Every structure is written in structure tokens, then in C-alpha cells.
């Protein structure tokens, strides 16, 4: 598990809490990933292989982020989506941690770290993007039958 201190985007989020409040709400692993920009170990998350239909929401604030119709199997070890539910559901920030240049994905409602987005990997999706998202950053709300 790696972590870096998230850079501030300068954005004011509609859901804000103190660090103490986040620690009280989230378990230590959730806090590490969502608030410290950590990463869960590959192939360990509960949503990596799920095909349940529904909406994936931010575990920290409940904002709707992705749907099962945008989820695809990339076999990378984390849930993958080719697009967010709405274009303003996530915030994209440059991430230069760990000696790499990547694009970090955050919840646009609370600023929690979700994962990273990659382009041009050749997956047969409409956007040629892979939103590589930590399962622990999400809560699946199944579609009611």
C-alpha cells in the first residue's frame, strides 16, 4: 500500500469534515485510501469482479460516481470504468507522486481519493479510458428489480 499526501485542488467541496470527523467515520483502511490517497492491494477489493447492476457511490459521502453500465473487466486488479456517471461527478488532478505522472480521480463532492484514470491502453470501450478505482472507495447500490 502506498500513500501520498493529497495536493489541494483549491476547490471548495459541498461535503467537508475535519480530519478527526473523517477518522471517526471511516475505518483505518478506508481513511488511508480515501483521505490519504492510498491504494488497496490489487485483486483484493470486493467490486473487482462483481457484475451486479447498480450505482457505485463514494464510500465517504454517498455521491453517485459510476454505474455498472460503465464498468468493464480490465483484469488489472481493481474495478475499472470507462466513464463516470456524470462528467461532474469526479474531479481529475495531476498526480506526480511516486516519481510518475498520472491523473488522480477524486470525488467532486467531498474530495476523497478514488483512484487514477489512464488513456490509450487499447481496451475496447467507447472512451479508451480506464478509471482504475479502489473498491474500498466505493459502495455499490444494486438496482432494484
Catalytic residue positions?
Answer: 132
For residues 141 and 4, give the distance between their C-alpha atoms in angstroms, rounded to a whole number: 29
Task: List residues bridging with 72 in a β-sheet.
Answer: 80
In the sheet that holds 54-58, the strands lie side by side as 64-67, 54-58, 138-142
How far is residue 142's CA from residue 138's CA, in Å, rounded to a whole number?
A: 12
Residue among 138, 122, 115, 123 at smallest CA distance from 73 = 123
Which contiguous run of DSSP H or E holds residue 71? strand 71-72
Amino acid at each position: 500500500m502506498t500513500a501520498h499526501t493529497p495536493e489541494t485542488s483549491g476547490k471548495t467541496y459541498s461535503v467537508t469534515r475535519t480530519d478527526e470527523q473523517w477518522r471517526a467515520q471511516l475505518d483505518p483502511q478506508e481513511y488511508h485510501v480515501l483521505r490519504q490517497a492510498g491504494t488497496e492491494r490489487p485483486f483484493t477489493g470486493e467490486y473487482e469482479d462483481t457484475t451486479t447492476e447498480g450505482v457505485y457511490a463514494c464510500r465517504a459521502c454517498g455521491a453517485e460516481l459510476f454505474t455498472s453500465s460503465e464498468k468493464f473487466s480490465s483484469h488489472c486488479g481493481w474495478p475499472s470504468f470507462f466513464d463516470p456517471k456524470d462528467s461532474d461527478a469526479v474531479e481529475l488532478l495531476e498526480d506526480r507522486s511516486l516519481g510518475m505522472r498520472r491523473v488522480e480521480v477524486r470525488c467532486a463532492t467531498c474530495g476523497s481519493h478514488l483512484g487514477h484514470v489512464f488513456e490509450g491502453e487499447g481496451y475496447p470501450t467507447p472512451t479508451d479510458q480506464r478509471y482504475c478505482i479502489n473498491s474500498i472507495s466505493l459502495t455499490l447500490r444494486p438496482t432494484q428489480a
